[in-house]
Amino acid sequence: LSFLAFAALSLGCLGLGWAFASRQRTDSPESRGVLALVTGWVVLSGTATFLSMCGVPWTWWSLAVPALAWLALARWLPRSSGAAATPPAPQPPAEQQPWRLGWGDTIAILALGALVFLAARGELLFPDFVYHWGTKTQKFALARGVDWQYLALPWLAELHHPEYPHLLPNLGALMTLLGGFEARAIGLLSMLALCATVLQLRGALREAGASHFTVQATTAWAGAALALFGINHVLAGSADPFLALALAVALPALLRPRTTLGADADVRVGLAAALAASAKIEGVALAGLLCLVHGVRRTTVDWRSSLRAAVRTVLPTVLVVTPWLYGLWRYGLRSSAAGRLDLGRVPEVLGGIWAQLFLSGWFGMATLLLLLPLSLARSDLRAVGWVVAGQLGFYVYTYLSAPFAPGYYIVSTFPRLTLHLLPVVVTAVALALDRWQQAPRETAE
C-alpha cells in the first residue's frame, strides 16, 4: 500500500504541475514533464506548510481545496513564452526525436533501474533518514501537519536539524497518511528526483542544440554516475537529489543566450529556486544564487521589463519560504552549523575538500568539479559557472564558519554536496566540447 501511495502522490503531483507546465514554452517534452513534477512537489509541499502555519490540519478537504484552486489558477494564468527574439526551435532529425531511445538512454535506464530496484528492496536507506528525515515524516503524519512543538524541543537543536525546510518530510508524511509509513517507499522520492535529473539534463542538452552523440553520452554518464553515487552513498530518503534536480531544472534557462530569455525562463528559474529552497537549508542559498544570476542576465538586456521578470522569478521561492521562516521565527529555531568565519581554517578546509575529490563515493569522478573554470571561461556557459561557483563558495564558507572542527564535517557532507553541482558541471563541459567540435564546420558553411 505504501508503494501505491508513492505512485498516487507522484502522479497527483505530476497532474497538479501539468496544468501549469503545459502552458509554459519548452522546447523538449522532457523539460515539460520534469517541470510539471517539480511544480507539483513545490505546490503540494508549500501548501502543506502553509496550512500548518495557519493551524489547519492536513485532511482530504484542507488539501483538496487549495489543489483545486491551484488547478483553476493554472488554467487562468497567461501562457508564458520566450522573448520576441527567440527563434523557433528547429525540428530535430529523426534520430533525435525525444521519444526515440538511443544507446545512452539505454545505459541510463539500466543503471537507474538497478538503483531504484536496490532502493525499493530497502538496501539504500540513507542514515539521515533515520536520524531526522524519517522521524520528522512520522511526527508530521501523526500531527497531520508540521509538528512545530516537536521541532522546538530543546535537545533537537543539536541533533535533528529542526530548522531544515520540509519538502521531503511533508511529501513523506502525506504518503504515510495515504498508505502508512514505509521507509522504502518514501526513499523512492529521492530516487525519482535522481531519475528526473537525468531526464532534465537530456532535455537541456537537446534544447541547447547539442549533437545526438553528446546528448546520448551525457545521458549515459549522468545515469551511470548518479546510480553509482546513489548506491555508494545510500541515497534513498535523502533530500540532496532535490537540489541536483533544482539546478538541472534551471539549466535550460541558464544555457540560453540572454537575449532570448523571456517569461518562460523566469518561471523555470523561479520554480527551480523554489524547489531548492523547499528541500534543504543550503537550497535557500542556491535559490538566491539562481534568482540573482538570472536577474542580472535579464536586467542587462532589458531593464524596463526586469521588475515583472523579478516577480516571476522570486515569487515561487517567497511563497514557499515564508511559512517556513515564520515557523523558524515563532519557535526560535536556528541552524546548528552557523558560527563565526575563521579564515585560519582555509588550509584545513581546502585540504579536506581536495582529499574528498579523490576519496569519496564518486569513484574519482568528483574531480570533474575541477573543470568548473572551463564553464566560467566560456561566455555561453558563464551563467552556469557563476551559479555553481557561488554555491561551492557557500559550502566552503559553511566549513570555515561551522562551530565545530571541519575535518569530519567535510568527510560526512562534501560528497553529497558534490551531487548538487557535478551533473550540471559535466553537462556544461559536454556542451562546450560539442560546440567546440561544431565550430569549424559552422565557419566553413
- Where do contacts with other proteins occur on this chain (CB under 8 A)? 104, 107, 111, 114, 118, 122-125, 130-132, 134-135, 138-139, 142, 150, 153, 155, 158-160, 183, 213-214, 217-218, 220-221, 224-225, 227-229, 231-232, 361-365, 368, 426, 430, 433-434, 436-437, 439-440
Distances (CA, A) of 230 to 58, 90, 124, 235, 409: 32, 36, 8, 5, 20
Torsion angles phi and psi, residue 256, rounded to 5:
-75, 145
Rounded to the nearest whole angstrom, what is the least distance from the CB of residue 180 to other proteins in the complex? 13
Rounded to the nearest whole angstrom, what is the least distance from the CB of residue 227 to other proteins in the complex? 5
In the complex with other proteins, the residue whose CB is nearer, 203 or 230, is 230
Paired with 24 in beta bridges are 80
In the complex with other proteins, the residue whose CB is nearer, 228 or 315, is 228
In the complex with other proteins, the residue whose CB is nearer, 40 or 361, is 361
Give the per-residue SS3 of 47-80: HHHHHHHCCCCCCHHHHHHHHHHHHHHHHHCCCE
DSSP annotation of 89 reads: P
Torsion of CA 223, 229, 235, 240, to 10 degrees: -80
Rounded to the nearest whole angstrom, what is the least distance from the CB of residue 325 to other proteins in the complex? 25
In the complex with other proteins, the residue whose CB is nearer, 2 or 135, is 135
In the complex with other proteins, the residue whose CB is nearer, 204 or 396, is 204
Task: Using alpha carbons, select from 303, 310, 307 the residue that is nearest to residue 288.
Answer: 310
What is the C-alpha to C-alpha distance for residues 179 and 6, in angstroms, rounded to an integer? 8
Rounded to the nearest whole angstrom, what is the least distance from the CB of residue 139 to other proteins in the complex? 6
Are 419 and 190 in contact, with CB atoms under 8 Å apart?
no
In the complex with other proteins, the residue whose CB is nearer, 132 or 312, is 132
427 Rama class: left (phi>0) / alpha (psi -120 to 50) / beta: alpha
Rounded to the nearest whole angstrom, what is the least distance from the CB of residue 74 to other proteins in the complex? 35
What is the C-alpha to C-alpha distance for residues 80 and 414, in angstroms, rounded to an integer? 38
DSSP annotation of 195 reads: H
Rounded to the nearest whole angstrom, what is the least distance from the CB of residue 221 to other proteins in the complex? 5
In the complex with other proteins, the residue whose CB is nearer, 301 or 374, is 374
What is the C-alpha to C-alpha distance for residues 188 and 198, in angstroms, rounded to an integer? 15
DSSP annotation of 367 reads: G
In the complex with other proteins, the residue whose CB is nearer, 213 or 326, is 213
Q: Which amino acid is at 98?
A: P
In the complex with other proteins, the residue whose CB is nearer, 105 or 266, is 105
Rounded to the nearest whole angstrom, what is the least distance from the CB of residue 252 to other proteins in the complex? 20
Paired with 80 in beta bridges are 24
Rounded to the nearest whole angstrom, what is the least distance from the CB of residue 228 to other proteins in the complex? 4
Rounded to the nearest whole angstrom, what is the least distance from the CB of residue 103 to other proteins in the complex? 9
What is the C-alpha to C-alpha distance for residues 258 and 280, in angstroms, rounded to an integer? 29
